[in-house]
Amino acid sequence: MLLAVDIGNTNIVFGCVDEKDEVVLFERISTDHNATAAEYAVLIKTILEMNSFNISDIDDAVMSSVVPSVTNTVKEAVRKLFNVDVMMAGPGVKTGLNILIDNPAQLGSDQAVDAVAAINQYPVPLIIIDMGTATTLSVVDSNKNYRGGLILTGMKVAADALTARTAQLPKVNFEVPAHVIGTNTIDCLKSGILYSNASALDGIIDRIEDELGEKCTAVATGGLSELVVPLCRRKIILDNNLLIKGLAIIYRKNKK
């Protein structure tokens, strides 16, 4: 069984993919810059045991990361646990994706992995939305070329900045209020945060389609997408396993 790991600024996603390329485990933990390799190893072992898997079930590993300071720590944890070399998704690794941006090396590994999964599963052209610390949108044209995208302030980052810089606005949980028009401070904040992000996605998809001159398949992933996508007026497919699927595809393309 293949262990797939994606290290993000806020969360680390762990997934297991079986021989049929089915995602059989998906878990998310907080990214801890101070954790040691041993501490991450304990977390990974616990995640496997919680899901009725054993260390011996893992025979290889693949990883992507946008947090260099944590990458080597998690790689060492995986090596200690499973005694395998970790394949890294990044420059020099075959993806099958034709990247047309000004400097392909600048493309985040998570965006590339998302795009690899999407072109193998959904009709092109594609708009791929990943809602994490930042919200990223990637555009793949009808010839499966990665054309570029957009980077937006992440929903949690924006909410934290708002409450930090205002004396009387409290932190709120991300929950959908009963009405768009809030009648108290808490509901006003919830409504403003969630519906502004939903409206942003709707509007950006419209503008991307105008620029491409054709309709696109929109796919969303990331920890916050489950909250926002149901509020969008555009049809957006939710796929929280997108990164894990993409890592598995990249692994198969590069494994000797």
Number of neighbours of residue 152 by Cβ within 10 angstroms: 17
Q: What is the DSSP letter of 170?
A: P
What are the residues facing 61 on neighbouring strands? 3, 86
* Residue 109 annotated as part of some ligand binding site: yes
208 is in an annotated binding site: no
pLDDT at 108: 87
Tell me the whole-structure pTM to 2 decimals.
0.90
Query: What is the pLDDT at residue 73?
Result: 96
Residue 8 marked ligand-binding: yes
11 known ligand binder: yes
Please indicate if the annotation marks 108 as binding a ligand. yes
The predicted pLDDT at position 96 comes to 85
- Residue 62 · residue 248 · CB < 8 Å: yes
**How would you write the pLDDT of the chain (256 residues) with one tens digit per residue?**
999 999 999 899 999 999 888 999 999 999 999 999 999 999 999 999 999 999 999 999 999 999 999 999 999 999 999 999 999 997 778 888 899 999 988 898 899 999 999 999 999 999 999 998 899 999 999 999 999 999 999 999 999 999 889 988 888 888 898 899 999 999 999 999 999 999 999 999 999 999 999 999 999 999 899 999 999 999 999 999 999 999 999 999 998 6
Answer for the pair 91, 115: CB distance below 8 angstroms, yes or no: no
**What residues act catalytically?**
110
Does residue 185 have a known ligand-binding role?
Answer: yes
Burial environment of residue 190 by CB neighbours within 10 A (0 to 12, 13 to 18, 19 or more): buried
* Structural domains of the chain, ranges and CATH numbers in brackets: 2-88 (3.30.420.40), 122-242 (3.30.420.40)
Give Rg (Cα) of the chain: 19
